[in-house]
Amino acid sequence: MTTIKELNRDFFIVAHRGASAYEPENTLRAIKRAIEIGADAIEIDVRISRDGYAVVIHDETVDRTTNGTGKVSELTLRELKNLDAGLGEKIPLLNEVLDYIAGKTVLFIEIKVEEAIKPTLKEVEKRNLWNSVLFTSFNKEHLIDILNYNPKALTGLIYIKHTDGIIRAKKIGAKAVLPFHRLATKKAIAFARKLKLMVIPWTVDNFNIAETLKSHGANGIVTNMPDTMLKLKSNQ
């Protein structure tokens, strides 16, 4: 089983919603492609269906990524599973993704809504994947809830604006910060690393930007194009 600790031994590449530059995002097909490419970790998003199932989809609605319309939270699992998420793929359940990955790689799970926290934790706990899952969110309260459930859970705070994200992450006991890549300056990365936080900027599809982030001390990057970015790894 690949763990976060093992991941952090070298500059690492996280496939954003799977290999989403090439396959329908947040689908098993995109995840499979990312694993085949050799991504070090895979990032997915979790929401909750009307009947309480943890499903893997980014947006509040299904409109952009499927042939349907409506809010995820207002559709049942059956209704969600009847949709085409691209190339005939279905919206996966979180448990389907966890079973498919089965310890093959590290998983970054972004919690999109509060209601997704407990079902997500239960599925991870059932499989004892605490060491190979990083729970992420823009909302620090979500991360606090996760750490209250299991103080040993690994969490990362995402941010997109000039804020005190690094300080907030450290205060709540997070292990990582995931800043929008333009906020990941050399100074900011050095400050976060000094506080023993992993720095994982997103979403980086430009090789030169990725190379600069690596030289500034980022631990890894989140990208839609993991195959291109794997060239940055020291063992490639």
Identify the CATH number of the domain in which residue 96 sits: 3.20.20.190
Nearest CA to 235 among 73, 82, 12, 43?
12
What DSSP element (H or E) covers 46? Answer: strand 41-48
What is the pLDDT, as a whole number, of residue 235? 57
**Which of 16, 142, 162, 216 is an active site residue?**
16
Q: Are strands 176-179 and 133-137 parallel, antiparallel or unpaired?
A: unpaired
Would you call 181 a catalytic residue per the annotation? no
Give the domain extent around 94: 4-233
Q: Give the residue among 219, 171, 154 at the shortest CA–CA distance from 193.
A: 219
Q: Which amino acid is at 145?
A: D
Q: Are strands 176-179 and 41-48 parallel, antiparallel or unpaired?
A: unpaired
Q: Tokens 């720095």 — which residue? A: 199
Of the candidates 221, 226, 228, which has an alpha carbon nearest to the alpha carbon of residue 198?
A: 221
| The predicted structure's pLDDT at residue 1 | 65
Terminal Cα distance for the chain, rounded: 21
- Token look-up 């499979």 returns 32
Q: Is 16 a catalytic residue?
A: yes
Instruction: Report the pLDDT value the prediction gives residue 211, as an integer from 0 to 100.
Output: 98
Q: What is the pLDDT of residue 189?
A: 98
Number of structural domains the chain divides into:
1
CA atoms of 61 and 44, how far apart (whole Å): 16
In 3D, which of 92, 136, 108 has the Cα closest to residue 41? 108
Which of 58, 142, 162, 181 is an active site residue? 58
Closest CA to 225 of 197, 208, 206: 206
Q: How far apart are CA 43 and CA 19, in angstroms?
A: 10
> Rounded to whole angstroms, how far apart are CA atoms 15 and 229?
10
Output the tens digit of pLDDT for each of the chain's 236 residues: 689 999 989 999 999 999 999 999 999 999 999 999 999 999 999 999 999 999 999 999 999 999 999 999 999 999 999 999 999 999 999 999 999 998 889 999 999 999 999 999 999 999 999 999 999 999 999 999 999 999 999 999 999 998 899 999 999 999 999 999 999 999 999 999 999 999 999 999 999 999 999 999 999 999 999 999 999 987 55
CA 215 to chain centre: 23
